[in-house]
Amino acid sequence: MNKYFASAYQFGILGGILSILSFGLLAFLQPDPTNLNLVFGYLITPISIFLALKFFKDYTNHGFISFAEGMSVGFVTYMLIALVSGLGIWVILLFSQDLFQVIRESKLSVLVENSQTIIDQLGESSYQNTLENIQEMTAGDVALSDSLWKIIPGLFFTIIISIILRKNPN
């Protein structure tokens, strides 16, 4: 079983570490690094999945990969990216409460600036609920959000890349 996931472990952990480094670097460049880190995640996740599947196909499975193998290796890859990234961001925010407060204030200011649009489209109760949720937000919520935004596109990219790289022995 380990032969199936050796490349997934390598590229999943590497992708997660790169995401943590991105978050840390972006925290120095701007007050709220969460939005740009999502963009970076949309780049690193498919690259990591592609490399994990390509290495599995070329170096472990003699040039062949089925759709199911691709989905399995891809799943482990994007889950590791999400897990490592989420844990790293959570630890950063636990040790840097100032950064967490800046992120929370940034999210609150965006909500307040767009309050009328949100109320018109979703209603006053939805706006108030969102406001309360942001005020009660924790470092774990930021980390969980980052992880989920690695998993959801990771599934999509895994399906596409598994189809593209699929090659079964005749």
CB 158 within 8 A of CB 69: no
In DSSP terms, which residues pair with 167 in a beta bridge? 65
Pair of tokens at residue 25 = 């670097």
Specify the pTM: 0.92
CB 78 within 8 A of CB 6: no
pLDDT confidence of residue 168: 74
How far apart, in whole angstroms, are the C-alpha atoms of residue 137 and residue 36? 19
pLDDT digits (tens, 9 = 90+) for 40-83: 999 999 999 999 999 999 999 999 999 999 999 999 999 999 99
